[in-house]
Amino acid sequence: MSAANNQRVLLGMSGGVDSSVAGHLLCEQGYDVVGVTMKVWPQDCISRAEDKCCGPQAVADARSVAHSLGIPHYVVDEADQFERLVINYFSSEYQAGRTPNPCVMCNEKLKFGSLWSKALALGCDYIATGHYAIVEQHADRAVLRKGADPRKDQSYFLFSLRQPQLRHALTPLGAMFKPEIRAIARSLGLKVAEKVDSQEICFVPGNDYKAFLRSHLPEEEFHQGGIYDLDGTFLADHAGIEMFTIGQRKGLPGGSAQPRYVVDIEPATNRVIVGGAEDLISEEFEIDRVNWVSRGVSEESIEVTVKIRYSHPGAKATLYPLPESRARVKLWEPQKAVTPGQAAVFYDDDVVLGGGWICRAPALAPA
């Protein structure tokens, strides 16, 4: 308790129950807490996202909680940065035939990125969030671990944070379970105690990314082309590779005895390649922009557990470091729908060793 005295922390407040209880816990631990809510909605999002963390209701809820906790509350306008660093990234990844992960980018670039300048301006020593992950401060480095609640663990979304960011990060909910959080909120009489958790990308109404892209991108920026099977047979036209992702089954032409899935997307030719379920299986893949989180850069192969998407349970693999911040991941058991653009995060038990971005495999269709 005493170590926190006189230390000021900027708390990112989304208006939800998690960040609200995080504020209460930090106050109890003796920190001088300053609540900040990022206004990240662009004008074309606000009318459709009133109930989301990018909507005005979130600001009102956060302000109300801050008042209840007796802490100051500020709103910072990050709409331009959010548009440039998250939304434009989201769109351009689909245009490149990859499937983006905007939550990772938002954490790295905004919540633990541009927000740090606001923290410094307010005299803060740390940035705190309501993430379900554990950040341990050791003498030589910060260590990122899974949150105690396996159903809520969000360490996957923090893999791209660098050591300077983790050194100034506090995650007070990491060792707690969701029912505990709601019980604390009820005991404090917070109006957000029963607020439903968002399960969607905050700026994509109804989780319909295709509708969002149609509203966000001009028609001429969609990459139209053809749908082909693995032997190069043309099956149908499509309105844009942006409408497809690896493993997708809906929206594909029929006429096959077995279900068809998207098994590859070729941005160079605008081809969408389809095949059977067995064609989605991968034994190895490469990642780039590798960030080593809780240990130094590895130059030798290591055994890890890798998650190839947030909802993935994890699979045993051997990681072979390559030059230029790349690595090859050899899976011990083949996995389905390894998707370019998604993050592959590798663990040693509950410790996040690091992660990288899944690269495109060589084109499956014949030349």
Structural tokens at position 367: 């030349």
| CB proximity list for 256: less than 8 A, separation 6 or greater | none
Structural tokens at position 316: 């045993």
Cβ atoms of 22 and 129 within 8 Å: the answer is yes
In angstroms, the Cα distances linking 343 to 85, 155, 236, 312 are: 17, 12, 31, 11
Catalytic residue list contains 202? yes
What is the CA angle 285-342-229, rounded to 5?
65
Closest CA to 223 of 80, 97, 356: 97
Q: What single-letter amino acid sits at 6? A: N
User: Considering 45, 103, 106, 359, which one is annotated as catalytic?
Assistant: 106
Catalytic residue list contains 124? no
The C-alpha atoms of residue 211 and residue 205 are separated, in whole angstroms, by 9
Burial of 123 (0-12, 13-18, 19+ CB in 10 A): exposed
The C-alpha atoms of residue 193 and residue 178 are separated, in whole angstroms, by 11
The residues annotated with a catalytic role in the active site are: 106, 202
